[in-house]
Structure 1
């Protein structure tokens, strides 16, 4: 019991010291305003929707909305700029059924990983400590494409079949550009919404690009998945259209490469830096 007054006195001194530090910091409206922006790390994870844009999409179609998940990290370089890295797993899909070239009857689905590095530019300075912060971001990276089609109840990988007689690359370079807004909950946590477009250096995300190939030497499965018009009722085809496409007939549009977009909802967590930890120690009390 004799140590109780000493402990209370120590606690009082600690509280007074903490209030003093807080008061000094409040002149700048935030405890950590004097710590540098450089080196601040933020982690984020999220989910949302992906949307395919390619040869099988003639217009906006909600059938092509699919899920995606993401994880990202940013490392702050300056008040408004950060290095950004991200990993995504996403699904895209498309079909010509119900579209202007429904009579070709092609369709696909693809579950792909992707990753990129780039820059993020915030509208407001880091030390402005705004509750809402819009930003732009962009980068370059790579995605692994895995287009598949369903035939007789089974999903078949299309790239090995060379449905256009082309052995296209499956590791594809991408360019990413997007916008986002972050809402701050507290010192550590925030919530963000992002909208981005991912431009692929390939026209084969959907396995469709140029023309129908010469069928000579193709396997039976490759022939079936290259030209799916024979699966339709011939009586429903437009006048003058053959039951099967001829070699060299237009299958896709090679002039425009494929892309895909994300609408993402994310939780963000701010990691401390050495400077921040030193500032936090000013408020700690040991008694």
Structure 2
């Protein structure tokens, strides 16, 4: 037991020493530069492109052949508050899809696709300080925002918006909250430009990203024949219609979507830096 405790203590101590050594290198880089910049108010613009992955009622695990991946794009900015902490805001667009014929619930025969915008505000915390000028800087971030739900399904060769059809007999909110959390790493390529990778999970305060959540409704309560057909698609594959009250989805867990992006960050600077740059410009003759 003592040997195990000593091994854990030694490993923790070694990890702490490695972090201390890395931090010392960063401080050394700062000292060599010979100048300190007040981090507050330093601004950067950000952009990202990658893939989006859906997790919800129409999937029951990761199917490597049918991931339903779609594109994700983000545009935003960072406003530095301290040496390690920045406010962060982004406008993002993502596309995801799923089809139950590739899942264990193929008998329900439900499917969807969606292309949505979302907006997110939050905080990013860097491992290394701004003035240490690290070349590689891992970070964590979290935030809150909104997304617009616009699920669609295809029938008879045409795509139809599902939310107005109320396929489960209820009207759900189409602008739910989104809670975001993720990790990333930024690699400085020039004095102003950094490139990196980021993994971000987005947790919806809704179970209707895919238009599926609870049980099959009474068909007589649905507004149209199209709504009834898109609510229960089992007859399309030769099965009996689902009975009202049978599980159509599961409201126990809400939907989410994942981003994996390649990102660029361009440092604009702040007012103080702009004044310093003007002072160093060559006079015009």
Query: Shorter-chain TM-score: which interval?
Result: 0.7 to 0.9
Of 272, 277, 280 in structure 2, the residue corresponding to residue 275 of structure 1 is 272
- Cα deviation, residue 124, structure 1: 0.2
State whether structure 2 residue 102 is matched by structure 1 residue 105: no
Alignment partner, residue 16 of structure 1: none
Q: Distance in 2 between matches of 1:248 and 1:217?
A: 13
Task: Spell out the pairing of 1:49-68 with structure 2 (5 A cutoff).
Answer: 49-61=51-63, 62-68=66-72
Unaligned runs of 5+ in 1: 1-25, 235-242
Structure whose residues are more often helix by fraction = 2
3-state SS of 2:245 partner: coil
Q: Distance in 1 between matches of 2:190 and 2:32?
A: 14
State whether structure 2 residue 174 is matched by structure 1 residue 170: yes
What whole-Å deviation, never above 9, does each CA across 1:75-117 have from its counterpart, x for those lacking one? 0000000000011011111111121110110000111110011
Alignment partner, residue 19 of structure 2: none
3-state SS of 1:252 partner: coil
Of 33, 36, 57 in structure 2, the residue corresponding to residue 34 of structure 1 is 36
Contact 2:136 2:185 in 1 (8 A): yes
Q: Distance in 1 between matches of 2:33 and 2:42?
A: 16
Q: Distance in 2 between matches of 1:101 and 1:217?
A: 25
Alignment partner, residue 252 of structure 1: 249
Contact 2:30 2:133 in 1 (8 A): no
State whether structure 2 residue 232 is matched by structure 1 residue 227: yes
Contact 2:72 2:95 in 1 (8 A): yes
Of 176, 197, 201 in structure 1, the residue corresponding to residue 201 of structure 2 is 197
* TM-score relative to the length of structure 1: 0.85
Q: 1:139 to 1:27 in 2, by over 3 A?
A: closer
Contact 2:30 2:131 in 1 (8 A): no
Q: Distance in 1 between matches of 2:195 and 2:91?
A: 18
Task: Spell out the pairing of 1:108-123 with structure 2 (5 A cutoff).
Answer: 108-123=112-127
CA RMSD of aligned residues (A): 1.5
Alignment partner, residue 281 of structure 2: 284
- Could you list the structure 1 runs, at least 4 aligned residues long, displaced by more than 3 angstroms after superposition: none
Alignment partner, residue 159 of structure 2: 155
- Cα deviation, residue 63, structure 1: 2.9
Of 84, 99, 111 in structure 2, the residue corresponding to residue 95 of structure 1 is 99
What whole-Å deviation, never above 9, does each CA across 1:169-216 have from its counterpart, x for those lacking one? 100101000111001011111112110000000011100000000011
3-state SS of 1:167 partner: coil
Q: 1:152 to 1:275 in 2, by over 3 A?
A: same
Q: Who wins on radius of gyration, i.e. which is larger?
A: 1
Contact 2:169 2:221 in 1 (8 A): no
Alignment partner, residue 12 of structure 2: none
Q: Distance in 2 between matches of 1:127 and 1:27?
A: 6
3-state SS of 1:64 partner: coil
